[in-house]
Every structure is written in structure tokens, then in C-alpha cells.
């Protein structure tokens, strides 16, 4: 992995690189839902969940560009998580060799990001969803200024959120939403007019908390 040193190495970006450069002796910590009742629900259905992977594309920091995370707004026509903000990704296909292959293939299909433009630096622990998926987030670096092309049947919009915001644990707020007449606790992260919540917010909050441990050490 190439370490960018063009700006102060006290930035959240460099803490992120530091986190993923450290050896992992133990299994990665699973990503938990803010609502404990959802964790119990998905744990009981673990063997029935479908494997999936998402990419967390992070633009490199340099002297001219701050670092950002690329996110999508899902089409309103999709059967699951319609209209929500998400990371590019999807279900593992038979031809995918591993989670990285799934995340890279889906990112190219959804936002036109070629696998050759992504430097994978690591992954996070898995997250099980009530919608029936078992997701592995893959973290990759990309060059700033790339042009993305949304697959309109799946992606309604593509935008970028500042990495400094995403990696700030204090930027996330707890709130409650009602699903099937049951109130559930969720996390929210706001950027401009975008409201990032649900599984995407939980994944990014988990990343922020892991990187925060490095910054405190």
C-alpha cells in the first residue's frame, strides 16, 4: 500500500491508512446494528442469509484535493432498500472468487468504476441485514476526479461525502424509525441534503470507530 504524505499525517485519512496497514491477528469485529433487537433477529437467521459485498471507495488525499467517500442513491424501483443511500455493491455471483471480486464487479456495474482504478487496502467485519443479506465491506482507494456513470436501473444519483465527516464518530446521531409497526433505533449522518442512515450509516460509523482507536493510540 502506498502511503500519501502530501498533507499532515495527523489527518483522518492518514489514520485510516494506518489502521489498515496494521496486522490483523484476530477475526474482524462484526458490524452491529444500533438496535439490539435487530442483532438478535439476524443472528437467528444467519445460515439463511445471502452473501454480498460493498465497496467503500475513498479518494486519495493530495495537495489539491481533500479525501471523500463515494456513495450512491438507490433507484426507487428496486425491491430492497429503494431510495436509500448506499455503498456500491451487491450479491455474490457464482463466478466471483471472493468478497473483493464481488465488490469490484458490482462497483463497475453500478457506477462505472473499473476494478483497475481501485487499490484495495482492507475490509471490515461482516454485517447481517434483516433484508436477508450478509455483507462484507471492502475498502479501496481511488484517484480524485474520476467520472462515474450510474446504472440508472439501480442508481438514481452518485455523490461524495467528505472523509473527515464520515470518520467523525460525533457526526452520527441516533434516531428512531418505525418498521412493520415496531420502532427501531437507527444511526443517521447528514451531508448537505443527503441523509445517510440504516446499514450504510452503521457500516461507516463502525469504520469511524475503528479509525478513532488508531488516532487515540
pLDDT digits (tens, 9 = 90+) for 100-111: 999 999 999 999
Whether pTM > 0.85 for this model: the answer is yes
Percent of the chain with pLDDT over 70: 90
Average pLDDT over residues 116-128: 96
Q: What are 71-95's pLDDT values in tens digits?
A: 999 887 766 666 789 999 999 999 9
Topology of domain 28-212 in CATH is: Nucleoside Triphosphate Pyrophosphohydrolase (3.90.79)
How far is C-alpha 210 from the chain's CA centre?
A: 13
Percent of the chain with pLDDT over 90: 65
Print burial letters for 193-214: b (CB count within 10 Å at least 16), e (below 16). Answer: eeebbbbbbbbbbbbbebbbeb
Average pLDDT over residues 8-33: 85
- Number of neighbouring beta carbons within 10 Å of residue 153: 10
Amino acid at each position: 500500500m502506498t502511503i500519501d504524505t502530501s498533507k499532515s499525517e495527523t489527518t483522518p485519512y492518514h489514520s485510516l491508512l494506518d489502521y489498515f496497514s496494521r496486522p490483523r491477528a484476530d477475526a474482524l469485529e462484526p458490524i452491529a446494528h444500533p438496535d439490539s433487537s435487530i442483532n438478535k433477529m439476524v443472528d437467528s437467521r444467519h445460515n439463511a442469509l445471502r452473501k454480498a459485498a460493498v465497496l467503500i471507495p475513498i479518494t486519495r488525499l493530495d495537495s489539491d484535493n481533500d479525501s471523500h467517500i463515494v456513495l450512491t442513491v438507490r433507484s426507487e424501483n428496486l425491491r430492497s432498500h429503494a431510495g436509500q443511500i448506499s455503498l456500491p455493491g451487491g450479491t455474490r455471483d457464482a463466478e466471483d472468487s471472493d468478497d473483493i471480486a464481488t465488490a469490484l464487479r458490482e462497483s463497475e456495474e453500478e457506477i462505472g468504476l473499473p476494478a483497475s482504478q481501485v487499490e484495495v487496502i482492507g475490509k471490515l467485519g461482516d454485517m447481517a441485514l434483516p433484508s436477508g443479506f450478509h455483507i462484507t465491506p471492502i475498502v479501496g482507494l481511488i484517484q480524485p476526479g474520476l467520472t462515474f456513470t450510474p446504472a440508472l436501473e439501480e442508481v438514481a444519483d452518485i455523490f461524495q461525502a467528505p472523509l473527515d465527516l464520515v470518520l467523525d464518530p460525533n457526526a452520527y446521531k441516533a434516531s428512531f424509525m418505525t418498521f412493520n409497526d415496531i420502532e427501531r433505533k437507527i444511526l443517521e449522518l447528514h451531508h448537505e441534503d443527503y441523509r445517510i442512515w440504516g446499514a450504510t450509516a452503521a457500516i461507516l460509523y463502525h469504520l469511524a470507530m475503528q479509525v478513532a482507536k488508531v488516532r487515540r493510540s
